[in-house]
Structure 1
Amino acid sequence: MVKPLSSWPWENLGIFKYVIYGPLVAKVVYSWIYEDSLKDVWCLHILVICALRGLIHQLWSSYSNMLFLTRNRRIKQQGVDFKQIDREWDWDNFIILQALLASLVCLMFPSMVDLLPVWNPRGFMTLLLLHVTISEPLFYWTHRLFHQSYLFTHYHSLHHSSSVLHPFTGGHATFLEQLVLSIVMGVPVMGSIVMGNASSSMIFGYVLGFDFMRCMGHSNVEVVPAQVFNNFPLLRYFIYTPTYHSLHHSEVGTNLCLFMPLFDAMWNTLNCNSWHLHNQITTYSGKEGRVPDFVFLAHVVDVMSAMHVPFVVRSFASKPFCTRIFLLPLWPFTFVVMLMMWRWSKTFLLSFYNLRGHLHQTWVVPRYGFQYFLPFAAQGINKLIEEAILRADSMGVKVISLAALNKNEALNGGGTLFVNKHPGLKVRVVHGNTLTAAVIVNEIPKHVTQVFLTGATSKLGRAIALYLCRRRIRVLMLTSSTERFQKIQKEASRDTRNYLVQVTKYHAAQNCKTWIVGKWITPREQYWAPAGTHFHQFVVPPILAFRRDCTYGELAAMRLPHDVEGLGNCEYTMERGVVHACHAGGVIHQLQGWTHHEVGAIDVERIDLVWEAALKHGFRPVSNLK
């Protein structure tokens, strides 16, 4: 049974909870349009301060997720997973609550609020005095009370359910807890107003400063240098740190203060490891952390998808990418950043997860899809990829897997360029295409006797064609190059060569209901497919789903094993927990401990071997066609 005040009154409204701001917005708009001057200016102030509070939390979220800046100063090294993101989805409920409470106060005492000056220095002194003497002790003792058995079980345990701290974790609490926190925040503000020392700048400063400190404490990134406390020892009792607060979540009976450890010291709840751990984290912040076992070297697809990263909007990154309206205003800024990255940036760390004790990271080459097709950009892109491989090699990474365009045949021969140039590489370079081919051929239903293949002479096209002809499946290979077709045909055994057929026009497939697309095709070219055709594909970007009477497969992908930890963002358009097959192929290479490079042409003999290894390690196919 749900306990009173444990759930939020509007928790079933979903996104419509923001309608609660409607009366404030309506009042501001009406006053702005139909009245000579803006009356009830407090409505506008509440809306502005709510927006600023959301911005502060978002900026702290972005910073804590910028792993390329913060990875060596993270307190807890695990990543935030999908379950925690979903639990904290409505982290901003407390902002709505406090907006309602502020509106109620303003309606009860309109004259008092309207007379507030913009600036009053005495108000800040009064505010500080009331915060230290009332708010800090009040929070400490109520917080300590919430750690008693009954209140903790039914109310406070929700806040502690987040395994890895994040700025949004600070707002993730029950209705009763946020009511108490609102009182803690309200005492200094209301006290200053009653004493006649308040100002609007004081209220803005206190509320935003309060949120800033709460976000800092929950950021999981240490931002306070140890030298500050070493030079000014008493200061450690007057300002807490992210390390200090993180210990409260791991050892719940300690470090109960709001922002000032002084009160933990006074009432004997100070964790004795607080300063040692803080000093340890900040001392080693300039050094490399744990070396990953596996690195997936990705790239950006386009300007819009560049915003599908955890440090932009965490909730958006936790779902498969699709273009959203709220992204459009950010497009110009992202385009400028793209130009800056094109000019100056190198590879950066995007995300990580753990799989059976192995740390797997995703690095991103800051180059966009269209740039890979610019002739003058090829040398620069290869240089960035080479630098990433050499960095991984020097760090001790075991396997680095190249994503999509980073292993383009025309760019670097599927990674062959780097292996030939650096024969002494200890890190294994993997294009992962063997598993990609395995995923595609295992999607083909058993009853299929004929397929139509575009991109037929590419690395993947060649391997798929040779594999399917061994299964006595007739492969219509679309290519205008007879020489390349014959070269592939000669690789097949004599008794299966007849199953490889060269075609040069799309109309040759007008009776074939299984298309494997390895080269982008237009809606007009799709017209030649008969009704009921299924389009398998390994082309980047995916083809447009133009035909309503046909079905379209996703890019070749595998679902990660159930025991993956710390995964909290989707890989481009893939579902949660699903990665591109070339990514999974690199993971399999690392888990198997294979010591060869997987570059260049695909070894058809290894397709079944890699597929069986993937299934053995708990990877699962995504397609349900069979």
Structure 2
Amino acid sequence: MSKDESQRDLVYIIILPLLLSRVIHNQIWISLSRYRTAKGNNRILDRSIEFDQVDRESNWDDQIIFNGLIYYIGYLLLEQAHHLPLWRTDGIVMIALLHIGPVEFLYYWLHRALHHHFLYSRYHSHHHSSIVTEPITSVIHPFAEHISYFMLFAIPLLTVTLTETASITAFGAYITYIDFMNNMGHCNFELIPKWIFSMFPPLKYLMYTPSYHSLHHTQFKTNYSLFMPMYDYIYDTLDMSSDTLYKKSLEREAEVPDVVHLTHLTTPESIYHLRLGLASLASKPQSSKWYFWLMWPATLWSIMITWIYGHTFIVERNLFKNLKLQTWAIPKYRIQYFMKWQREIINNLIEEAIMEADQKGIKVLSLGLLNQEEQLNNSGELYIRRNPQLKVNVVDGSSLAVAVVINSIPKGTSQVVLRGRLSKVAYSIALALCQGGIQVVTLDEEEYKRLKTKLTSEAATKLVLSKSYNVSKTWLVGDGLSEDEQLKVPKGTLFIPYSQFPPSKARKDCFYFSTPAMITPKHLENVDSCENWLPRRVMSAWRIAGILHALEGWNENECGNMMFDIDKVWKASLDHGFCPLTMASATESKNYESQRDLVYIIILPLLLSRVIHNQIWISLSRYRTAKGNNRILDRSIEFDQVDRESNWDDQIIFNGLIYYIGYLLLEQAHHLPLWRTDGIVMIALLHIGPVEFLYYWLHRALHHHFLYSRYHSHHHSSIVTEPITSVIHPFAEHISYFMLFAIPLLTVTLTETASITAFGAYITYIDFMNNMGHCNFELIPKWIFSMFPPLKYLMYTPSYHSLHHTQFKTNYSLFMPNTHVKVS
């Protein structure tokens, strides 16, 4: 191993993987908790979680970003944090003792103080808004609390660092321990077995349980301890029902629902939209995200699991009045349902789910999505034929789907186009419309013939074959509707799907209705996720049908060719509080999407673009200086300079963390427009004025021997510069420069004239000018200054700044030589 290799600091390298591992750790707890609470065994609280809680807790990763910022700052400021060993026993023992003593003690009294009405109303009530906790509720606090908790947890870490007993294992283990205990204490299911406390009784004072902390969220004035209940015992704040609730939760068995809805995965990315996946994504209608490609390792892993794992799994539980509901999922994707060699496997999975439901005494099982595909199982009839002794009612929901589609057609419509793959639902819609006097138009002769065989002779008179796409502006569409066909319809056409999956939207001047669905009543509880692409609190007709069967006590199957009376089913849905989905509510998801904050989303891509921008300059500079044309200095660059400048990306990480913190602290930074001319002009003027002026005098001050020897000499160690030399500074200088460049950005933010373009353009301008000024080859042609002579005062050149690195006492300006004063 080379000397340079041995000198690499593993502490610095491991910070980012540690942060990523914390994200994964937390996500595993979220998924496990949601699965176990849906299943019901060992569940502590039965109260529901709603969308407002999910929204409030969706920024749980902010705490990891904040911690990451502090880790990097601590590493830069503390020399003792460099080159730590992998293991030191004394440091690990010291961390354990400091946690048991000062940390737990101080947290206990801080926690009690936070429950004083003055602090509780201003801070801690935010955390206690979640009575039924999820693992990540543990880190949902106002920013002031985050700072307080971080200072507490820093006591052991800072102590072992300053006493030089720290190790990488100690740091990683302590941080992981905090995350583990936080997540476990808020997971809402009991998982600590009795035998642990039986074998080691003192452990009850050193480790809390999920049920122990759950009482704090329901009783508020008891069980204040962090992870170790001993302080509640000492100060008499222990909830007397702690042991009772612990035993009761452990003994609780899995819940048996009244109704099960059997669905399946749709696309590989749909795993993230499941309730067991990413909670914030599950709470919004399913849509493709640009960042999914970054998650391809997890996506690939999930695909492998679905091909190997051969059993349904519980996704969600709900409560409708006294009716217990569950959603189960088949671990198969939509594409697999159309593979002939997969059909038997899928049918077996569905049949196993039906048999399991029957054995458990479940009343109704509704088939969702392609689990009722006619080519697969003839709308579920296959399972009834195979198992005539079934007590559970199997429902495909076709009757309600037909009723929803028919009642979605605008009043006064006399003619509709029916287009798409014909199904049980399509035939029933055509029959109902024709019998009701509405003309049904088909564009395909084969479809026309097949439909006519399903209609009575009287109803068939309302069925019309046409080749024109302009016959009606109301289209009832199923699978197989092509984009070419959509492009031929008149402007303003309304597409109403009767299929399980929505059609692709090829027209912006047309209206697309939702797949058959209805708005759920308020007494449907524990709704914290969206059903596939449907808006919040909207449920597919096929799923509602199962609920109606149980509510109405219809003790018969709805499979194969069996259809219920459409009017009867529609009336039952309205009687039980379900409402028709209007165009306004169908577009709710679109409105919700428009409320998403692009500012927050765009920070990471901006940071990545800065890395790419800098790398392009590095590569271009090395190529041009090697080629020789327009090269400024001929002196050499050695390994020591490359090593010194290898951490150039630290500045981008540091900036990124400040951006995120600024976003969290400044309400004015939210929901910025893409463009505001006044803000862009203000940034330009503030840069030309205060920024350039203050930088000039700061730069001159840094060349004073006191500051130069302690700080700025590090930058000037590189006489022959590379583009990235521009950001190689001690940490104190980074802070100074960031404060300078923040003047325009903070000003436009506080005056509410900021825009996304202004922020992105100014940051890119700074990077561009920094890189260009240090690239060591001249690239600004003469004609630019000839055409616009004042430009020489507003834009420096690489050769101009190169002189500063060789002469030291000249050319101090930032990017604009207008502030330059030659010093003899």
- Structure 1 residue 267 and structure 2 residue 235: aligned? yes
Deviation at 1:357, TM superposition (A): 2.7
Deviation at 1:446, TM superposition (A): 1.8
Q: Which residue of 2 aligns with 1:12?
A: none
Query: Which is further off, 614-623 or 322-331?
Result: 322-331
The question of whether the paired residues in 2 share the 8 Å contact of 1:454 and 1:461 is answered with no
Q: Which residue of 2 aligns with 1:51?
A: 20
Q: Distance in 1 between matches of 2:447 and 2:24?
A: 57
Match 1:408 to one of 369, 373, 394: 373
Q: Which residue of 1 aligns with 2:460?
A: 497
- Call closer, same or farther: CA 1:340–1:488 in 2, change over 3 Å: same
- Structure 1 residue 294 and structure 2 residue 259: aligned? yes
Q: Which residue of 2 aligns with 1:569?
A: 529
**Matching residue's letter, 1:624:** M
- Call closer, same or farther: CA 1:455–1:544 in 2, change over 3 Å: closer
TM-score normalised by length of structure 2 = 0.66
Q: Distance in 2 between matches of 1:105 and 1:223?
A: 36
Greater RCO (Cα-Cα under 8 Å, separation 6 or more): 1
Deviation at 1:155, TM superposition (A): 1.7
- Call closer, same or farther: CA 1:455–1:94 in 2, change over 3 Å: closer
Q: Distance in 2 between matches of 1:458 and 1:93?
A: 48
- Call closer, same or farther: CA 1:56–1:421 in 2, change over 3 Å: closer
Q: Which residue of 1 aligns with 2:138?
A: 170
- Call closer, same or farther: CA 1:426–1:161 in 2, change over 3 Å: same
Q: Which residue of 1 aligns with 2:766?
A: none
Q: Which residue of 2 aligns with 1:66?
A: 35
- Call closer, same or farther: CA 1:235–1:41 in 2, change over 3 Å: closer
Q: Distance in 2 between matches of 1:81 and 1:38?
A: 52
The question of whether the paired residues in 2 share the 8 Å contact of 1:293 and 1:359 is answered with yes
Deviation at 1:92, TM superposition (A): 3.1
Deviation at 1:577, TM superposition (A): 0.9
- Structure 1 residue 458 and structure 2 residue 417: aligned? no
- Call closer, same or farther: CA 1:574–1:255 in 2, change over 3 Å: same
Q: Distance in 1 between matches of 2:537 and 2:480?
A: 27
- Structure 1 residue 471 and structure 2 residue 450: aligned? no
- Structure 1 residue 348 and structure 2 residue 307: aligned? no
Alignment partner of 1:600: what SS? coil
Match 1:90 to one of 39, 59, 65: 59
Q: Distance in 1 between matches of 2:171 and 2:164?
A: 13
Match 2:570 to one of 599, 607, 611: 611
Alignment partner of 2:23: what SS? helix
Q: Distance in 2 between matches of 1:106 and 1:386?
A: 58
Deviation at 1:45, TM superposition (A): 5.2
The question of whether the paired residues in 1 share the 8 Å contact of 2:216 and 2:224 is answered with yes
Q: Distance in 2 between matches of 1:114 and 1:457?
A: 69
Alignment partner of 2:446: what SS? coil
- Structure 1 residue 257 and structure 2 residue 225: aligned? yes
Q: Distance in 1 between matches of 2:504 and 2:537?
A: 24
Q: Distance in 2 between matches of 1:357 and 1:185?
A: 45
**Matching residue's letter, 2:572:** A
Alignment partner of 1:571: what SS? coil
**Matching residue's letter, 1:535:** F
Deviations 1:444-491 (A, max 9, x none): 11222111112475211111111111221111244516764343222x
Q: Distance in 1 between matches of 2:246 and 2:227?
A: 16
How is 1:80-119 mapped onto 2 (pairs within 5 angstroms)?
80-103=49-72, 105-106=74-75, 109-114=77-82, 116-119=84-87
The question of whether the paired residues in 1 share the 8 Å contact of 2:365 and 2:393 is answered with yes
Deviation at 1:574, TM superposition (A): 0.8
Alignment partner of 1:66: what SS? helix
TM-score normalised by length of structure 1 = 0.86
How is 1:379-528 mapped onto 2 (pairs within 5 angstroms)?
379-455=344-420, 457-477=422-442, 478=444, 480=446, 484-490=450-456, 494=458, 496-501=459-464, 503=465, 507-528=467-488
Choose 1 or 2 for highest CA Rg: 2
- Structure 1 residue 531 and structure 2 residue 491: aligned? yes
Q: Which residue of 2 aligns with 1:186?
A: 154
Deviation at 1:86, TM superposition (A): 0.7
Deviations 1:216-255 (A, max 9, x none): 1112232221111122222221111112111211222221
Alignment partner of 1:72: what SS? coil
Deviations 1:238-276 (A, max 9, x none): 111112111211222221111111221111122223233
The question of whether the paired residues in 2 share the 8 Å contact of 1:456 and 1:462 is answered with no
Deviation at 1:79, TM superposition (A): 4.8
- Call closer, same or farther: CA 1:196–1:379 in 2, change over 3 Å: closer
Q: Which residue of 2 aligns with 1:597?
A: 557
- Structure 1 residue 585 and structure 2 residue 550: aligned? no
Deviation at 1:59, TM superposition (A): 2.2
Deviation at 1:332, TM superposition (A): 5.2
Q: Which residue of 1 aligns with 2:802?
A: none
Q: Distance in 2 between matches of 1:252 and 1:114?
A: 43
Deviations 1:566-590 (A, max 9, x none): 1111111111111211112222222
Q: Distance in 2 between matches of 1:208 and 1:340?
A: 26
**Matching residue's letter, 1:576:** R
Deviation at 1:437, TM superposition (A): 0.7
Q: Which residue of 1 aligns with 2:520?
A: 560
Q: Distance in 1 between matches of 2:68 and 2:517?
A: 45
Q: Which residue of 2 aligns with 1:326?
A: 291
- Call closer, same or farther: CA 1:532–1:560 in 2, change over 3 Å: same
Query: Which is further off, 240-249 or 269-278?
Result: 269-278
Q: Distance in 2 between matches of 1:185 and 1:311?
A: 30
The question of whether the paired residues in 1 share the 8 Å contact of 2:38 and 2:315 is answered with no
Q: Which residue of 2 aligns with 1:314?
A: 279
Q: Distance in 2 between matches of 1:481 and 1:171?
A: 58
The question of whether the paired residues in 2 share the 8 Å contact of 1:81 and 1:568 is answered with yes
Deviation at 1:540, TM superposition (A): 4.2
The question of whether the paired residues in 2 share the 8 Å contact of 1:454 and 1:479 is answered with no
Query: Which is further off, 536-545 or 125-134?
Result: 536-545
**Matching residue's letter, 2:583:** N
The question of whether the paired residues in 2 share the 8 Å contact of 1:460 and 1:602 is answered with no
Q: Which residue of 2 aligns with 1:8?
A: none
Alignment partner of 2:220: what SS? coil
Q: Distance in 2 between matches of 1:265 and 1:407?
A: 57
**Matching residue's letter, 1:554:** S
The question of whether the paired residues in 1 share the 8 Å contact of 2:369 and 2:500 is answered with yes
Q: Which residue of 1 aligns with 2:336?
A: 371
Q: Distance in 2 between matches of 1:189 and 1:282?
A: 35
Q: Distance in 2 between matches of 1:324 and 1:620?
A: 30
Q: Distance in 2 between matches of 1:106 and 1:374?
A: 55
Deviations 1:581-625 (A, max 9, x none): 111222222222222222223537x11221122122111122338
Deviation at 1:419, TM superposition (A): 2.5
Q: Distance in 2 between matches of 1:278 and 1:318?
A: 31
Q: Distance in 2 between matches of 1:246 and 1:336?
A: 34
Deviations 1:131-168 (A, max 9, x none): 11211111111112222222222221111111221121
The question of whether the paired residues in 1 share the 8 Å contact of 2:80 and 2:164 is answered with no
- Call closer, same or farther: CA 1:277–1:137 in 2, change over 3 Å: same
Q: Percent identity?
A: 36
Deviation at 1:41, TM superposition (A): 7.9
Q: Distance in 1 between matches of 2:180 and 2:479?
A: 50
